Amino acid sequence: MVLRPALITRTLLFAVLTLAAGVFPAAAASDDDQRIRVALEAARHEVTVTSSGPIFVAGNGWKATLSGGVHVQRAGGRLIVNDRKVTPPVRIAGTSAFLTVDGTPVRGDLVITVRDRRVFVVNEVRLEDYVRSVVPSEVPSDWPAEALKVQAILARTYALYQKAERGGNHFDVDATVQSQVYGGIPSEDGRTSKAVEATAGRVVRFGGQLAFTPYHSTSAGPTEDALEVWGIDRPYLKGVDCSFDTESPAARWTRRVPLDEIEAALGQAGYRVGLIGSITPLGRNRSGRISAVRIVHAGGALILKGEELRRIIGYRRLPSMRFDLTEFAVNPETQRVEAWFEGGGWGHGVGLCQWGMKALAERGWTADQIIGYYYPGTTVDVITPRVSRAR
């Protein structure tokens, strides 16, 4: 435990989107026409869509083919498409060329609505095209071919699982690390596209059902049990040894985080805290990651789960929960008190370790062998038109 002296403490207790059916009929669920709905951005006030060809736009009771570009902004609960007010959702499709969303070209169509008083953009894209963008966004394209195949299989499985899991929701995944990183056409790479093509339609199953396949960058030790992080008990998501990801830049790291910024982040997350006096780990999981922390501050004490603290502080500032808090110290340049974290790993630690995957591929392991190691008891086979999820 690291203390800031002279603080008075008392005890405190601590505590999607509803988008109407699309204008166009949903795509059929088949091997070559499965579509993934990717939430591109939830914090827009307006969006501009362009294409080198005509653009087809349809809203409730209205449709048109436009040229040049389409500018969409919010007007209360409605949208203004160029100069016309339209009741959302609005579907936009390129008739002969790709669409570009605020400068980023994407495959597939767009569905735009209003969420939380902001314009909300969803990219409906074919499954294999989605995976084509995710793989090079998640791992370097010069990694071993078998590792790239693993990433393609996991990305495909994860997307389909989320699609089944969210059911009636109106997007399946977002475009960030909260789901899988997706960057549209600019992210695509020839080498990773070959891995996607080589594994087309292949997914991970457990007991004949679609498996949940989370993954992370670097474990820096045993992987984590999903039960510890998300309360999900799956026999194939228990921790396994991962002592071969030492080449990762995140195998060891040090972070210096100003206490006032931690206090501000906690406040923005809804926790009323005063000046922080100490941050104390309350226990570690079997993998060695901190399971919970107690934060003593001028207004009392706060207990948080480890991953909640990481989310609030920021994933880059606290790359994993495998750390030690060594001290509070004054930065001589800024004169601010900082918390010094020393640790290893990057990510939640559940499922496959990407740097471990790379190391195993370099040792000659096949994609199926790597997947079987990190998700014990699973198999890899080809999807069918309807896939259910494994619990």
Question: pLDDT for 128-178, tens place per residue?
Answer: 999 999 999 999 999 999 999 999 999 999 999 999 988 677 899 999 888
Which residue, 127, 119, 130, 146, is CA-closest to 19?
119
Instruction: State the DSSP string of 186-237.
Output: GG--HHHHHHHHHTTTEEEEETTEEPP--EESB-SSSPBPHHHHHS---TTS
Q: Which residues contact 104 (CB under 8 A, 6 or more apart)?
A: 183, 184, 185, 186
Note whether 336 and 210 are within 8 A (CB): no
All residue ranges of the chain with pLDDT < 70 are: 1-33, 41-43, 167, 384-391
Report the predicted TM-score, pTM, of the whole model to 2 decimal places: 0.85
Note whether 38 and 123 are within 8 A (CB): yes
Greatest CA separation for the chain = 69
3-state secondary structure of 110: strand
Query: What pLDDT sits at residue 257?
Result: 95
Q: Which residues contact 87 (CB under 8 A, 6 or more apart)?
A: 59, 60, 61, 78, 79
Angle at 315 between CA 245 and CA 328, to 5 degrees: 100
Question: pLDDT for 78-137, tens place per residue?
Answer: 898 998 898 889 999 999 999 999 889 999 999 998 887 888 999 999 999 999 999 999
Chain CA centroid to CA 384, Å: 25
d(Cα 211, Cα 372) in Å, to the nearest integer?
12
Q: 244: which 2 tokens?
A: 């071969």
Residue 43 has a CB neighbour count (10 Å cut-off) of 9
Helix axes 145-166, 190-198, angle to 10 degrees: 70
d(Cα 81, Cα 380) in Å, to the nearest integer?
45
Q: Which pairing describes strands 215-216 and 253-258: parallel, antiparallel, or unpaired? A: unpaired
How far is the CA of 359 from the CAs of 72, 166, 199, 240, 245, in angstroms? 46, 34, 20, 15, 7
Query: What pLDDT sits at residue 326?
Result: 86
d(Cα 302, Cα 70) in Å, to the nearest integer?
48
Cross-strand pairs, 304: 293
Q: Which pairing describes strands 62-66 and 35-44: parallel, antiparallel, or unpaired? A: unpaired
d(Cα 152, Cα 314) in Å, to the nearest integer?
27
